[in-house]
């Protein structure tokens, strides 16, 4: 086994964020630049990133890209999704209309961590007019490396699914 300078096996330093994932990314015209930045950032980390967004900066419609990414995640083509529009609002609202999507709009890593731990978020949305590229990197790192805690949180996520299925909660 290969050793580092401190004599410890390198495998001890393997971090969770080294696990490669298949990620769907989508954006409207406002999110083109941040999307390109994140594709490069995540690809360098070994992830496979599929671009469902636009590369045109002419005005277009975020629900189209929200639906494409949502379908890829819910349909199992990709493990997680990333969505970007100007605020992150429209694209997250649209994605959450697709059955099985739990899309969390995040502007910092703490709420992103909790969206994974408590809500089992499967898509993260960000606003390209709200945050910069370094904050976006921290958010996606957190999103891809934080596990769902289950337990009482699992019961609540099941209740969200029940709402999707038209059930009345009591
Ligand atoms: C586009 O101007 C803008 O409305 C869109 O990017 C997003 O912020 C919508 O929620």
Q: Which one-letter DSSP state was computed for residue 3?
A: B
pLDDT on residue 50: 98
CA distance linking residue 114 with residue 56, whole number of Å: 33
What are the structural domains of the chain? 19-164 (3.40.1400.10)
Residue 110 CA to ligand 1 centre (angstroms) = 24
- What pTM, to 2 d.p., does this model score? 0.91
Ligand 1 mean position, distance from CA 72 (Å): 22
Distance from Cα 138 to the centre of ligand 1, integer Å = 22
What is the secondary structure of 6-39 as a DSSP string? TS-BGGGG--GGGS--EEEEEE-GGGHHHHHHHH
pLDDT at position 5 is 42
Among the listed residues 145, 146, 149, 144, the one whose alpha carbon sits nearest the alpha carbon of residue 23: 144
Q: Cβ–Cβ contacts within 10 Å for residue 76, how many?
A: 8
Cβ(146)–Cβ(116) below 8 Å: yes
Burial of 139 (0-12, 13-18, 19+ CB in 10 A): buried
Task: State residue 19's pLDDT score.
Answer: 86
Nearest residue (CA) to ligand 1, atom 4: 86
Nearest CA to ligand 1 atom 8: 86
Which residues of the chain are modeled with pLDDT < 70? Answer: 1-18
User: What is residue 7's predicted lDDT score, i.e. its pLDDT?
Assistant: 45
Residue 121 has a pLDDT of 98
- Residue of the CA atom closest to atom 5 of ligand 1: 86
Amino acid 18: pLDDT:
58
């Amino acid at each position: 086994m290969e050793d580092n300078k401190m004599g410890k096996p390198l495998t001890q330093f393997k971090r969770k964020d080294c696990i490669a994932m298949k990620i769907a990314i989508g954006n409207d015209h406002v999110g083109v630049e941040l999307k390109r930045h994140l594709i490069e950032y995540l690809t360098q980390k070994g992830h496979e990133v599929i671009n469902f967004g636009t590369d045109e900066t002419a005005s277009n419609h975020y629900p189209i890209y929200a639906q494409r990414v949502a379908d890829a995640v819910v349909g199992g083509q990709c493990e997680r999704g990333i969505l970007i529009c100007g605020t992150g609002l429209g694209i997250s609202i649209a994605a959450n209309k697709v059955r099985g999507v739990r899309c969390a709009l995040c502007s910092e890593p703490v709420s992103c961590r909790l969206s994974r731990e408590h809500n089992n978020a499967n898509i993260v949305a960000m606003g390209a007019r709200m945050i910069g590229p370094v904050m976006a990197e921290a958010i996606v790192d957190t999103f891809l490396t934080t596990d769902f805690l289950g337990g009482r949180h699992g019961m609540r996520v099941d209740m969200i699914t029940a709402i999707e299925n038209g059930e009345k909660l009591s």
